[in-house]
Every structure is written in structure tokens, then in C-alpha cells.
Amino acid sequence: MKTLTDTDYIHSLIAEGEHQQQDFKFEISDARKIAKSLSAFANTDGGRLLIGVKDNGRIAGVRSEEEKYMIEAAAQLYCIPEVEYTLQTFIVEGKQVLVATIEESPHKPVYAKDENGKPLAYLRIKDENILATPIHLRVWQQSDSPRGELIRYTEREQLLLDLLEQGTLLSLNRYCRQTGLSRRAAEHLLAKFVRYEIVEPVFENHKFYFRIKSE
């Protein structure tokens, strides 16, 4: 009866499609690409990779043991810090499907090294891995510091709130333009407001914008 439950389980996962916590991989040919997925899941809500499954949900099966080592390499060599994951093997329609489960990391950001060894952090938004902005990085870095720091309301803070109160989505560039703040100062302030849950980032048309966080 085991194969039946394996089949049912994998088919039920595939029926969910790709989403914020699930990604299909037909094969693993590049550990760096997998590191990007691991980074995105670890920096967001965690998730799982179904390996041996095509984008359209068809089961192709894993072709070699090599793919297990590729995941290991992605997690240990290409992710900083190393990403912990669990790996299960299921036999479906006589083919092997791997399910790698990644928990959300308590220590963000988790970076993935690119082709040049440069560490980049990713987020998982809907079914895509998106490069984290400097503001996300600052929010994560600030979140390790105690939350006791008070926001000093100066003109700069008030100006940011006034711009956001207009109800439109505010981009970092527009914020810098309208306040004359340096990019660094603007990022720092926005990160502080995101961390205190006054402001939230919104991803639209492949760009991050900011708005007052709704109750």
C-alpha cells in the first residue's frame, strides 16, 4: 500500500501548483540556482522543492543520485549561513521524486552565492524568487538589535509619513527625490518604519513600493 500513499501525497502537492511555499524543479543541474531557491524560502516563510517534477506538474523523476549531492552542495557551500533542510524520497509511477523541505531561518538574511561568488539574498513572493532590496537587508540587520530604540520624530520622519498618508505606493527613488535625502538615509528610515510595522513593502510590477501598513 506504501506506493499508493506516496503517489497520492505527491499528486496532492502537485495539485497545489507552485506558490510561495512550493517550487517544482525538473532537475538540478546547477547547485547555485538551487541555493537561490533555498535562500528565498529561508528568508520568507520556508517551503519545499519538488525535484523531478516539471513546471506543468508532470512527473519526470530524478535521474541520478547526483541530484541529492547537488542540493547538499547548494545548502552547505553556496548558502551563507548554511541552510538546513530535510530530504525525502517518494516513488511515484515508478519514478523517484525528491521533496526538500526548508524551514524559515531565524537568522536572516540567508545569502546565496552567484556565479562570481557574490552573496545575494532572495525573497519568495508568490511563485518567484526575488532579489531582496537593501531595505530588506537593513530590516533583518536591525532586527537583531534590541527594539527599545525610539523613533525620533523629526521633520524627516514626518515627511515620510505625509508622503505615505497620500495613499499612493511610494518608491524609494521617489522618496529620495521628494525629500532630498541620500539613498542611504532613506533606506535606513524606511527599514526602521518597516521593522516597527508602521510601513510595509509591496511588490508590484517587479518593483518594491512602500505603503502605510493597514490594520
CATH architecture observed for domain 132-210 = Orthogonal Bundle (1.10)
∠ CA 94-19-60, rounded to 5°: 20
- What superfamily in CATH does domain 4-129 come from? Schlafen, AAA domain (3.30.950.30)
Encode pLDDT of 134-161 as tens digits.
999 999 988 776 655 666 778 888 888 8
The lowest-confidence range among 70-79, 92-101, 177-186 is 177-186
More confident of the two residues 41 and 152: 41
pLDDT band at residue 4 using 50, 70 and 90 as cut-offs: low
- Kind of pairing between the strands at 22-25 and 47-51: parallel
Question: Where in the chain do CATH 1.10.10.10 domains reside?
Answer: 132-210
Cα–Cα distance, 133 to 173 (Å, whole number): 13
Confidence at residue 151, expressed as pLDDT on a 0 to 100 scale:
63
Mean pLDDT score across all residues of the chain: 92
8 A C-beta contact, residue 55 and residue 18: yes
Confidence at residue 150, expressed as pLDDT on a 0 to 100 scale:
62
- Per-residue cell: 133: 532590496
Confidence at residue 148, expressed as pLDDT on a 0 to 100 scale:
58
Torsions phi, psi of 76, nearest 5? Answer: -95, -35
8 A C-beta contact, residue 54 and residue 84: no
> Helix, strand, or coil here: 90?
strand
Encode pLDDT of 60-92 as tens digits.
999 888 999 999 999 999 999 999 999 999 999
Mean pLDDT, range 155-179, rounded to an integer: 88
- Other CB atoms within a 10 A radius of the CB of residue 110 amount to 26
Question: Where in the chain do CATH 3.30.950.30 domains reside?
Answer: 4-129
